């Protein structure tokens, strides 16, 4: 049987919002993002939504241009006072790898300001060079707690049952709103199954600034030691009560690492998305 580690180089799908913040947002109160990050925050919404996203990029591996990466993502969510849920689909192409993933997310309140969520994902990863593929399932568990109107915390565990190599990790996040128009976020974590957690540390930070009444500017950065990656993201969002559009650019630099058979590379992504609430 082919090891799932052979497909570990493809990046996890992120929404346009998450790309603009460098992936930061474990403690955020998000709708569509809950399908890919912390599933608990979906319970804080009382509206349903339809979301679509298209990504394109440029990948340079060891100084050589690779086929242009691209991705499509869709989310349908349904809010309910006792149990909220969403269905997601992702199609990615990156280097010689392809991924198709279906996800089902459920979230329910634990208390007035707390919620628990779970996501179950079915993925098919394909190596287009060797014509091999694997099918596997993963689980994501999350908790979100709003301490007050300004401060929220979140905890999320990815693939706790170790269904795919090198994918298990836990993260803690904090989000704080300053003066009603500035939001700062910070996430950190690592692989709690690893013999040396310090080698798998992942930390991210971001800031969002509200401009006028409808526009948001976002900036973020991250450092992922398990993948020997560093990067940054920035973007712009226009949000209305029913309709919103977002744009983001994300840059990722991967260091050469002989221990995991990894060459030096850079990954530049452009993402555009729209959502309709109803």
Contacts of 36 (CB under 8 A, 6+ apart): 12, 13, 14, 15, 18, 88, 103
Classified as helix, coil or strand, 187 is strand
Q: Give the pLDDT score at 195.
A: 80
Chain centroid to Cα 144, Å, comes to 16
User: How far from each other are the two terminal CA atoms of the chain, in whole angstroms?
Assistant: 45
**Residue ranges of the chain with pLDDT lower than 70?**
1-8, 259-260
Q: What share of the chain is helix, strand, coil (3-state, %, to 5)?
A: 10, 60, 30
Closest Cα partner for 254 from 125, 95, 126?
95
Cβ density class 118-130: b for 16+ within 10 Å, e for less: ebebebebbbeee
What's the half-sphere exposure (Cβ side, CA atoms, 13 Å) at 208? 27
Say if residues 28 and 21 touch (Cβ distance below 8 Å): no
Residue 62 confidence (pLDDT):
77
Which CATH number describes the domain made up of 4-277? 2.40.160.60
Smallest CA-to-CA distance from 52 within 246, 237, 248 is with 246
Say what the pTM is.
0.93
Strand (E) positions, 17-168? 49-61, 64-65, 70-78, 84-94, 97-111, 114-127, 132-146, 151-158
Domain boundaries, the chain: 4-277
d(CA 107, CA 81): 10
Nearest to 51 by CA among 251, 237, 264, 222: 237
């Amino acid at each position: 049987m082919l090891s799932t580690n052979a497909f570990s180089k493809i990046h996890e799908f992120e929404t346009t919002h998450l790309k603009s913040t460098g992936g930061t947002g474990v403690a955020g109160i998000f709708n569509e993002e809950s399908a890919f990050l912390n599933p608990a925050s979906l319970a804080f919404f009382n509206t349903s939504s339809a979301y679509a996203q298209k990504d394109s990029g440029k990948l340079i591996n060891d100084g050589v241009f690779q086929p242009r990466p691209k991705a499509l993502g869709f989310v349908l969510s349904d809010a309910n006072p006792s149990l909220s849920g969403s269905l997601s689909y992702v199609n990615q192409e990156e280097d010689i790898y392809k991924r198709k993933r279906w996800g089902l997310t459920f979230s329910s309140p634990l208390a007035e300001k707390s919620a628990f969520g779970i996501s179950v994902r079915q993925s098919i990863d394909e190596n287009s060079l060797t014509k091999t593929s694997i099918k596997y399932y993963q689980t994501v568990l999350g908790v979100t707690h709003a301490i007050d109107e300004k401060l929220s915390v979140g905890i999320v565990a990815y693939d706790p049952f170790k269904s795919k190599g090198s994918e298990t990790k836990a993260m803690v996040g904090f989000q704080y709103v300053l003066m009603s128009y500035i939001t700062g976020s910070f996430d950190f974590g690592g692989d709690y199954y690893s013999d040396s957690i310090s080698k798998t540390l992942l930390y991210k930070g971001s800031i969002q600034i509200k401009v006028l009444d409808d526009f948001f500017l976002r900036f973020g950065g991250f450092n992922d030691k398990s993948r020997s990656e560093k990067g940054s993201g920035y973007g712009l969002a226009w949000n209305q009560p029913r309709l919103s559009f977002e744009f983001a650019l994300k840059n990722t630099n991967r260091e050469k690492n002989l221990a995991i058979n990894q060459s030096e590379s850079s990954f530049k992504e452009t993402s555009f998305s729209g959502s309709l609430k109803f």
